[in-house]
Structure 1
Amino acid sequence: MVSSAVAPGKVPPLSILHRLLPLLALICLWLTGQTGQAAEFRNGEDVRVTSPVSDNLFAAGSKLTIAAPVDGDVIAAGFNLDLKAPVSGDAILAGFDLRVAAPVAGDLLAVAADLDIKSSISGDARVTGAEVRLSRGATISGDFSASGGEITLEGDVAGNAQLAAEKVVIAGSIAGNLDVAAVELELLPGARITGSIRHTGPRSVPVPDGVDVGGTVEFRAKEDLDTDGPGVMTLLGTMAALFILGLAVLWLFPALVAGSSAAIRRNPLGRVLVGLGLLLVVPPLAILLMFSVIGLPLGLLLGGLYLLAFPLGLAVAALGLAESRQGRNGRDGPPARVLGRFALVTLALALVSLVPYLGAIGLLLAVALGLGAMAGAVLNARRAG
């Protein structure tokens, strides 16, 4: 499941989005410099995926068009992003102008200024944007969660719909319940909600003739709608912070990063288990040490290092994944290539951070991977010394 939210009325102005969202793709473009392996990485000023991809696809470009089927998941970012071919897995997309015009067999997570869904989504859809449209003929087989400035639902939702925006227009069908927080709600003739409507807003909206509601209609008055949550700015901030931290770690501790990458390459699952063990053992050990006069300084030190371990572990995991991929290729690529892959990994982790519950679990596993890899690198260095 994937999710994201943004406060109605607090969507960044389009002029700001116009500058910031392309930066997400251009960071990857500038750092990579060359196209990665076709089955996994694509980047460039104008990227067109025209041959089938038999693996997960990571893509970034100022203009990005996916016009060939992808047998796996897609993680993509670009100023203009157009998905024209089917995806067999999940799709995680970020862009300024974003159009989903081909089926997605899994879940959809999308962050955009202008988002138009024109196809079928077999799983759940979690989206945010200044303007969000589920076009006529489009279908979502699971639940639909959307937030932003204006949301128009003309297609069909087989599950429940949770919508939060300044303006929400319903002209399609919802097989489940409709939960909507909106300053302005329009129910157009022909709309059909099989379940109930729960509306939060400054004023109630009567159900007009021609609108079919199978359940009850509930209204909760609230003048100031507050649906703050992660959105575009959070995505960019998370990616930038992680990328800068990773560069600092790479500059200060290059040997540690190299050793961590080797540890991840040898046994990634083992590194995750070691990291989880450290995350579980260190807090009670630090508390026990603090109860003794002699161990108090060490306990305080462990507590401080534990707090530092989360961002550091995440940065090392991202760097390790980027460098370990180079090692599997059996050759040393240019530093820009490694940094380009690191930028794509930070994009993936930033998008994962938008996912409620499962996103937290994913980030925890990434932190554990980084900590376990660092522990392995330190032990190997001591043995070698």
Structure 2
Amino acid sequence: MSIKTLIAAVGLAAALQAGAAAQFIGGDVTLHGIDRDDDLVIAAGDVSLSGRIGGDLRGFGGDFTVNADVGQDVRLVGGSITFEGTVAGDVEMAAGNIEFNANVGGDADLAGGFVNVRGRIEGETAVGAGAIEFGRDFVGAGRVEAGGEEITFQGTSLGSVEFHASEVIIDGRIEGDLETRARELILRDGAVVTGRIHHRGPNPPEIRSAAVVSGEVEHEIARFDSDWEDFHDLDLDLDFAPIGPIISVGFIASAFLLGILACMIAPRGTARIAREFRDRPLVSGMIGLVLFAFSPVILVTLIVLLCITLIGIPLAGFVAVLYFPLLFLAYAFGAMAVGDLIFNRRGKPAGLGLRALSMLVVLIAAAAMGVVPLLGVTAGLILMCIGLGAWVMALGKKDPQPVETAV
């Protein structure tokens, strides 16, 4: 089975899990001049994208460079994000570095280490970052909230503004009230605030001579600490849809690769596991369930016995570390055994291609069941118990020898 087939199959799993119309998964994804009416979901290391997307844009990856017109919502998680264009719906982004310059019809929620915001946002704007800059091209039609170590505001807000930071610098126009909780509040010469200013902090606000403030200026003396308690009122609504599908894709890919590796290293051993389940499916499942139920007790007992001796202490740590990987391997074995039973009707020794394809189909089906509450967990538990029981039953057994016929 080729790598392209594997990627397509894993993408199918994500599509089933997310209900998405399309999936692009890979190390680097480049989509220039794209023109589509449905959703676009991407999971990749580096993403370069331009064009039109009629539905949602959702992505999880390393670096995003996007210049696109999106007809609905945008939800991106990455190492760094550079976004230009238009968004008709809401925007939710989280990254180490965000450069955002787009016109947004809904709300915008941005979180990162450094965030630079430009463009017009019709809804509410909420930003949480270490350093935040609202550029001169920024226009916030709704409420603007931000929390970070340093905030510089050079744009225009048509509504009220609330900033929480160690240092807040205003060098733009606020056509509403300004509420700050900061150690330092500075209104530079180009600042304009048409409403009142309510500042909470240890130091009074510094208002330069050329700054214009139409309303009252209130200073409430309060201690300021650079911890999360000073930002608890910040309303960041980050609900990233790609996380669930990406976790499912990673889980499927990990189990699949682990199962394939086991089939390549020990082809006879994995064949015996599949044969044991084929011969006694109920017995293998029940044995696996019992072993899994008592596995914590067995694990603790074994660790205690090993810790009695000085030599056994390193082995105890090794056994503890192997517990969850072994259960995960049993899950892969369960998918392999069920796939062999379904697709290998004759029961003859299966080749690596058939073994891999059948196992992948079962893993995808089990992940797709996750759209129904508890069904996906139940399916995964059944596969793990089947694999664990068949694995134990196959230990120590040899392949049947062919019967010699007398001449």
The bucket for the TM-score relative to the shorter chain is: 0.5 to 0.7
Tell me if structure 2 keeps the 8 A contact 1:128–1:231: no
Runs of 4+ in 1 over 4 A off after TM superposition: 31-38, 332-339
2:184 corresponds to 1:184: yes
Superposed counterparts of 1:130-209, under 5 Å: 130-209=130-209
Q: What amino acid is aligned across from residue 162 of structure 1 in structure 2?
A: E
Q: Which has the higher strand share?
A: 2
Number of corresponding residues:
236
Alignment of 1:176-255 (within 5 A): 176-225=176-225, 226-229=229-232
The amino acid that maps onto 2:181 is A
Contact 1:148 1:165 in 2 (8 A): yes
User: What's 2:40 paired with?
Assistant: 40
Q: TM-score, normalised by structure 2?
A: 0.50
Q: How far did residue 209 of structure 1 move?
A: 1.2
- Equivalent position of 1:117 in the other structure: 117
Q: Which has the higher contact order (CA 8 A, sep 6+)?
A: 1
Q: Give SS of 2:53's match.
A: coil
Change (3 A) 1:33 1:224: same
Q: Which has the larger radius of gyration?
A: 2
Residue equivalent to 2:347: none
Distance in 2 separating the partners of 1:187 and 1:168: 9
**Equivalent pair of 2:166/2:184 in contact (CA under 8 Å):** yes
Assess if the C-alpha contact under 8 Å between 1:192 and 1:211 holds in 2.
Answer: yes
How many angstroms apart in 2 are the aligned matches of 1:152 and 1:97?
A: 16
Q: Which secondary structure state, in structure 2, belongs to the residue aligned with residue 227 of structure 1? A: helix
Cα distance in 2 for partners of 1:210, 1:117 equals: 25
Deviation readout 1:169-200 (Å, 9 max, x if unpaired)? 00001111000011111110121111100000
Structure 1, unaligned stretches of length 5 or more? 1-30, 252-331, 346-368, 379-385
Instruction: Assess, with a 3 A threshold, how the Cα gap between structure 1 residues 46 and 103 changes in structure 2: closer, same or farther.
Output: same
Deviations 1:234-288, CA, capped at 9 Å, x for gaps = 999xx79x969x97xxx9xxxxxxxxxxxxxxxxxxxxxxxxxxxxxxxxxxxxx
Deviation at 1:370?
Answer: 6.6
Offset at 1:32? 5.5
Distance in 2, Cα, partners of 1:235 & 1:96: 17
The whole-number CA distance in structure 2 between the counterparts of 1:335 and 1:107 is: 39
- Residue 63 of structure 1 is matched in structure 2 by 63
Structure 2's unaligned 5+ residue stretches are 1-23, 256-357, 380-407
Tell me the amino acid that sits aligned with residue 207 of structure 2: V
1:136, 1:172 within 8 Å by CA — same for their partners in 2?
yes
The equivalent residue for 1:258 is none
Cα pair 2:224 2:230 within 8 Å, conserved: no
What is the root-mean-square deviation in Å for CA atoms of aligned residues?
4.3
Q: Distance in 1 between matches of 2:212 and 2:47?
A: 44
- Cα drift, residue 228 of structure 1: 4.2
* Superposition TM-score, scaled by structure 1 size: 0.53
Change (3 A) 1:109 1:174: same
- Using the TM superposition, give the Cα deviation of residue 336 of structure 1 relative to its aligned residue in structure 2, in angstroms: 12
The residue aligned with 1:84 is: 84
Q: Tell me how far apart the structure 1 counterparts of residues 362 and 42 of structure 2 sit (CA, whole Å).
A: 15
Structure 2: how far apart are the matches of 1:91 and 1:64?
14
Secondary structure of the 1:142 match is: coil
What SS does structure 2 have at the residue aligned with 1:51? Answer: strand
Q: Residue 333 and residue 114 in structure 1: after superposition, are their counterparts in 2 closer, same or farther (change >3 A)?
A: farther
2:53 aligns with 53
Cα deviation for residue 205 of structure 1 reads 2.1
Residue 401 (structure 2) aligns with: none
Cα distance, 1:337 vs structure 2: 9.8
